[in-house]
Chain A
């Protein structure tokens, strides 16, 4: 391994492990709960960062999979009373749903923009449908779906196959943080595999990749389903954070926030969306307590400003700026050395 690669994997790993072990010791419970929420949102942001930033799939409805994961966990946990299987279902159900939806979209070869509109519409209709299931006749097994009232008192996670041993809030934090690290390094690993490279190639030029002989539809479908699975895992953790889920999880503002995190952090990076999710979730909490400015106005404004003025996001902008500062002198030195070398081309 080159030094560069050791640094690029080692630094996030060290920081991540330090946060995983250190924060529960340092922070009091209230702050730790807040941080848990930010970590869950960061996982959700990573799911879209992968699908949009590397798969080039313009999914505007990532919250559909987040919400499906949350509801799948809540409903199966009520029915089973033990959390091992519900966690698996919370990841599998959105994955399968996305695979079916992705089959219809990608194998229909509809244009990128239509993918955006359809994913958004699916989210809207899920919101409307779940929202209007308040009456007691809508139940799955022993769980009332609850409509706009949501599902309160969702059983929390327990150690696998040990229903009496439920996780405490700091355990939930560690699970969330560990999931974030697994997802982050998992995506980085995927991007280094043949599948990941083909996926990025499709983002760059789909037609050319197909001429070479790869099946772009299948790669996009797989990426879309994988992203949905990650979002489902985030949804499962989200229910555990508040032991409550309501249809607002499918709402426009929730879908928009995921887009905004990725957009502000930087499309085509992984660290940018994580930072974007943490920073903007913190901002949401602050705005919610202050009543100075309406949250919708703030986030709508942020989205408009970034689309018009900072379309690539903050992390690419900053790193390029710093990069050119750091790299420029060295390049000059290198060129000068080349020029000075005897026999070198002037």
Chain B
């Protein structure tokens, strides 16, 4: 029984992690049809923001939850204004430009911070279940992902800015004709995606440490989750994260973590062969 609940928690944790890593990418892709290949580097920047904040004596929770999204969101606005806005509607060019951006940011961070792994010290009591122990931080990650999905949903569904964002993404000229500053909405949405990526980076920093090149190890999973999810940003990410999280953990328990990721990829390719428009292309079509 204790073992079963630990395994269950690990699966839920894997799902929560996928949601956390993919949410920013999904907002930018789902709402703006922009595939941001620099998503991983946005996460790493969030990680560095958290590390620097902790090293400057800022409270641990402020440093991982508040500082990274603000800083990376601000960087996101700058990047949207200087590069992305010239490429709207041209998905492939956007991918190439954000790929260039990704390399550029890796290089820049290597020059600034060096190649060493920076850590964020963290102490949370673990949770004992029978003979096993679950890390307290894992439970925090699970709870926080649930909160984050709820917050993003509430923002898009119930606030005026969320309404304007959805209207602009659905029909930009019409929203513009009704007086919306569409270019401002694009910038704000991209910044929101960047801020969510930064937040994910900040939260992962205490677990994985931060080094300029780690971005690449997250984006594979993030892309798979977003593509598997399909057009609806939130429902897509949540449903795909549940599916892939379970597949990943099942394969990891059966073999090891390497094959877990390979199984994830195979599941995603088969899924896209069956449902080319992702899960939300067939199911939950009217969801957000």
Interface size bracket, B side: 35 or more
Quote the shortest CB–CB distance from A218 to chain B (angstroms): 16
Given A122-B265, A128-B261, A297-B108, also A108-B276 (CB < 8 A): yes
If A118-B227, A121-B265, A132-B258 touch, whether A303 touches B276 (CB-CB below 8 Å) is no
Asked if A32 lies at the interface with its beta carbon under 8 angstroms from chain B, I say no
CB-CB under 8 A from B108, the residues of chain A are: 294, 297
Bound CA span A109–B277, Å: 10
Q: Does A184 sit at the interface, judged by CB under 8 A?
A: no
Contacting residues, chain B, for A116 (C-beta < 8 A)? 35, 92, 95
Query: Which residue of A60, A251, A300 is within 8 Å of B104 (Cβ)?
Result: A300
Say yes or no: is B136 at the interface (Cβ < 8 Å to chain A). Answer: no
Q: Does B121 contact A (CB under 8 A)?
A: no
Once the chains bind, are B269 and A303 in contact (CB under 8 Å)? no
B224 and A307 form a contact (CB under 8 A): no
Is there a chain A Cβ closer than 8 Å to B153's Cβ? no
Contact B93 A307 (CB under 8 A): yes
Which residues does chain B contribute within 8 Å of A302, judged by CB atoms?
A: 100
Most A CB atoms within 10 A — which of B100, B223, B268, B273? B100
> Which residues of chain B have C-beta atoms less than 8 A from A13's C-beta?
none
From the candidates B95, B111, B220, B274, name the one contacting A121 in the complex (CB within 8 A). Answer: B220
What 0/1 readout, one digit per residue, does chain B (194-217) give for beta carbons within 8 Å of chain A? 000000000000000000000011
Q: Is the CB of A113 within 8 A of B107?
A: no
| A contacts with B: majority SS | helix
- Closest-by-CB residue of A relative to B109 is A296
Q: Are B97 and A304 in contact (CB under 8 A)?
A: yes
Chain A residues in 8 Å Cβ range of B227: 114, 117-118
A sample of 26 inter-chain contacts (CB < 8 A) reads A104-B269, A107-B273, A111-B276, A117-B35, A118-B269, A118-B272, A120-B37, A121-B224, A128-B220, A128-B261, A129-B261, A132-B257, A132-B258, A252-B216, A259-B96, A295-B107, A300-B99, A300-B101, A300-B103, A300-B105, A300-B107, A301-B104, A303-B103, A304-B97, A307-B96, A308-B86
Residues in A lying within 8 Å of B, measured CB to CB: 58, 60, 101, 104-105, 107-114, 116-118, 120-122, 124-125, 127-129, 132-133, 251-253, 256, 259, 263, 294-304, 307-308, 311
Chain B residues engaging chain A, CB cutoff 8 angstroms: 35, 37, 83, 86-87, 91-93, 95-97, 99-108, 110-111, 216-217, 219-220, 223-224, 227, 257-259, 261-262, 264-265, 268-270, 272-274, 276
